[in-house]
Structure 1
Amino acid sequence: MKSDFKTLIPAYNATKGRFSLITVPPLQYLMIDGSGDPNTSQAYRDALSTLYPVAYKLKFFSKGELERDYGVMPLEALWWAEDMDSFTGARDKSLWSWTLMNMVPEWITREHVEAACRVVAGKGGAPALDILRLESLDEGLSVQTLHVGPYDDEGPVLEEMHHRFIPEQSLAMTGRHHEIYLSDPRRAAPERLRTILRQPVAHLPD
């Protein structure tokens, strides 16, 4: 059986036009950190061209050696800046920092990742292997919604999430802004891009 974690993990589902409170379980990811405008940053391009060769090598290793097949998960990213309004207002991407991520199953170990990196390194073309890591992330209580459309149209949705919905629910933002890219921008028109927007939160004290 091939595991499809997009259907097995409820946190990978969201509804357009509705903010939902969910509890995200602890998950582990391949991660690469960087900063700068994702449209122009060489570091961002290097991270992308490194993450997926390793992800697919792990998938085929798991299928062949561990007899546990699964679908490679979509690209995800954590985003932050000193002034979080740079995400909802002028969206000055040069001020952004990010962690690109790809979720992998809990049975994938650091030893598996290190072995995959060695194989990928031997083939060349993965320039950020030295900063790739396997790390768990426990976001817990979170607000999320589905955005359909260009990435640059996310601002008003995030404005409503951050400044209306979260305060109205007596919540405060905790972890970093999280995006899950359900569509491949190389294949989908900008107006059809589907992105889960997630914000970890905590209840305010009474």
Structure 2
Amino acid sequence: MKKIHRDLYAAKDVPALLDVPELPCLMADGAGAPSGERYRSTVEAMYGVAYAVRAELKPTLTFSVAPLEGLWEGDPGDLTSMRWTSLIPQPEQVTAEMVERAVAAVRRKKPSARVDDIRLATLAEGRSAQILHTGPFSEEPATVGKLMKFIAEQGLSLAGRHHEIYLSNLERTAPEKVRTIIRYPVR
């Protein structure tokens, strides 16, 4: 995905407009804080499914699993009120049947895995504005403010949810070096 859609993963710290194509994605919905058990267990299960899909396609297609992404809505001041959709973009060759087999495989390996809500769906954002945020999530409001100012200056308005693309592994990256793309569909 990062090679095919370079512009989607190559944001800079200066806001920019881009056209996001429709993308097949593994998706799961939930509510609550990103530090909560539901979110963490859903993300873990999604990666299990993503790697199982990749293994099934490996004889004919070799690819890296794309970065985790999240669509968010709610009050950022009260993370427990957040509603989210976690997603991992997939190659166009992935089918719903492959995802069903991957879900079943993950369930067999780890019966407690939160796989029941994982589905294959299309993300259709179209025209979007994005910016790269470097640093801890607590400092995102300044970056979001910069992006919102840019959107207004372009005479555009928001047309979708707050979208984050996580480029860094949070377990291996110092908070001040965490890189996150922030994107909003616009019209």
Fold equivalence (TM over 0.5): yes
Structure 2 counterpart of 1:128, from 105, 108, 114: 114
% identical equivalent positions: 40
Q: In structure 2, what is the equivalent of residue 13 of structure 1?
A: 10
What is the Cα deviation at residue 173 of structure 1? 0.1
- Distance in 2, Cα, partners of 1:80 & 1:110: 27
Structure 2 counterpart of 1:38, from 34, 37, 40: 34
- Distance in 2, Cα, partners of 1:152 & 1:184: 17
| Residues 161 and 185, structure 2, Cα contact 8 Å, conserved in 1 | yes
| Residues 178 and 197, structure 1, Cα contact 8 Å, conserved in 2 | yes
Q: In structure 1, what is the equivalent of residue 54 of structure 2?
A: 59
Matched residue of 1:59: which SS?
helix
Matched residue of 2:89: which SS?
strand
Q: In structure 2, what is the equivalent of residue 93 of structure 1?
A: 79
What is the Cα deviation at residue 141 of structure 1? 0.4
Unaligned runs of 5+ in 1: none
Rg bigger for which structure? 1
Displaced runs of 4 or more, over 4 A: none
Name the count of aligned residue pairs: 186
Does 1:77 pair with 2:70? yes
Does 1:172 pair with 2:172? no
Matched residue of 1:14: which SS?
coil
Structure 1 counterpart of 2:93, from 76, 93, 107: 107
What is the Cα deviation at residue 7 of structure 1? 2.5
- Distance in 2, Cα, partners of 1:75 & 1:107: 19
> Aligned AA for 2:88?
N
> Aligned AA for 1:27?
L
Does 1:185 pair with 2:170? yes
What is the Cα deviation at residue 157 of structure 1? 1.1
Matched residue of 1:37: which SS?
coil
What is the Cα deviation at residue 125 of structure 1? 5.2
Structure 2 counterpart of 1:139, from 120, 125, 145: 125
- Distance in 2, Cα, partners of 1:196 & 1:139: 15
| Residues 50 and 65, structure 2, Cα contact 8 Å, conserved in 1 | yes
